[in-house]
Amino acid sequence: MLALIEDSPFLIARILLFFVATYFIYIALQSIELSKIFKKNSADNIRFLFMVISMILGHLFVDAIISLFENLNRLL
């Protein structure tokens, strides 16, 4: 089938949106107070946990959005 847009713009958008979404998710996760769960002076551990979680959620969010646009592109 003939697609409106090739796959390379979707790949570029996927990469760029991943970093943007990861940043905003990381900022949003910082509002969660986890100092009661972790030991004292473990700010580095909390920051690392937030970074890992934000990368995972950023990937899932961007993958869902870009997959939706790729499927819409195939249908048109």
Q: Where are the domains of the chain?
A: 8-75
Over residues 25-38, mean pLDDT = 89
User: Which positions ≥6 away from 35 have C-beta within 8 Å?
Assistant: 46
- Please tell me the distance from the alpha carbon of residue 74 to that of residue 76, in angstroms, as a whole number: 6
Per-residue pLDDT at 36 = 83
DSSP 2: -
Tokens of 51: 């970074």
Per-residue pLDDT at 76 = 79
Band of residue 25 on the pLDDT scale cut at 50, 70, 90? very high
Over residues 31-55, mean pLDDT = 89
Query: Is the confidence at residue 1, as pLDDT, over 70?
Result: no
Least confident of 38-42, 43-47, 48-52, 66-70: 38-42
Q: How far is Cα of residue 69 from the mean position of the Cα atoms in its chain?
A: 16
